C-alpha cells in the first residue's frame, strides 16, 4: 500500500495535486511569515520535523494561489491552518479561502492555538 500512510491506525490515501496556482508577489510575505516567531506555529513545526512525522514532508507558509497557508503536505494534498486571534472577525474571508483551497482538490484541517499550547509534547 505505497499510496497510503497509516497514522494512528487510520489509512490516509495520497492526494498529490500536481499543479497548484502560485502568486510570486507573495514570496516576500511568505518568507517574512516563516521568519516571524509565532509560538504556536513554531511549536507545531517542531513537532512535525523533530521525528519526521510519518515520513511526510511539510512546507511552512506555502503560497497557493493568492493565499499563504500555514502548513502544506504535498503528498496528502493537505493544508493545516493554525487558528488564533488573527482569525477573529474574519469568518467570511476564512470561508472563501477554504472554499478556494477545497475547489483545488485540497483538504483543509484547522487547529486552534489553544489546542497546540495545551497539548503539544515538548520533549
Domain ranges in the chain are 15-119
User: In the numeric block, which cell numbers belong to residue 98?
Assistant: 477554504
pLDDT in tens, the chain (123 residues): 468 777 778 788 889 998 999 999 999 999 999 998 888 999 889 888 876 677 788 999 999 999 999 999 999 999 999 987 665 677 899 899 999 999 999 999 998 888 888 877 654
Q: Of how many residues is the chain composed?
A: 123
- Domain at 15-119, CATH class: alpha beta
Say what the pTM is: 0.86
Question: Would you list the DSSP string of 7-68?
Answer: ETTEEEE----S---B-GGGHHHHHHHHHS--HHHHHHHHHHHHTTGGG--EEEEEEEBTEE
How far, CA to CA in Å, does 92 sit from each of 78, 81, 97? 21, 16, 9
**60/41 Cα distance (integer angstroms):** 9
Amino acid at each position: 500500500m505505497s499510496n497510503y500512510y497509516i497514522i494512528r491506525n487510520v489509512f490516509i490515501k495520497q492526494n498529490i495535486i500536481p499543479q497548484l496556482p502560485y502568486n510570486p508577489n507573495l514570496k516576500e510575505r511568505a518568507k517574512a511569515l516563516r521568519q516571524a516567531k509565532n509560538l504556536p506555529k513554531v511549536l507545531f513545526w517542531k513537532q512535525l520535523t523533530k521525528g519526521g512525522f510519518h515520513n511526510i514532508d511539510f512546507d511552512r507558509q506555502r503560497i497557493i494561489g493568492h493565499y499563504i497557508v500555514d502548513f502544506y503536505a504535498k503528498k496528502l494534498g493537505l493544508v493545516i491552518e493554525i487558528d488564533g486571534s488573527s482569525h477573529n472577525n474574519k469568518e467570511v474571508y476564512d470561508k472563501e479561502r477554504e472554499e478556494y483551497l477545497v475547489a483545488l482538490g485540497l483538504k483543509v484541517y484547522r487547529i486552534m492555538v489553544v489546542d497546540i499550547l495545551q497539548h503539544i509534547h515538548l520533549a
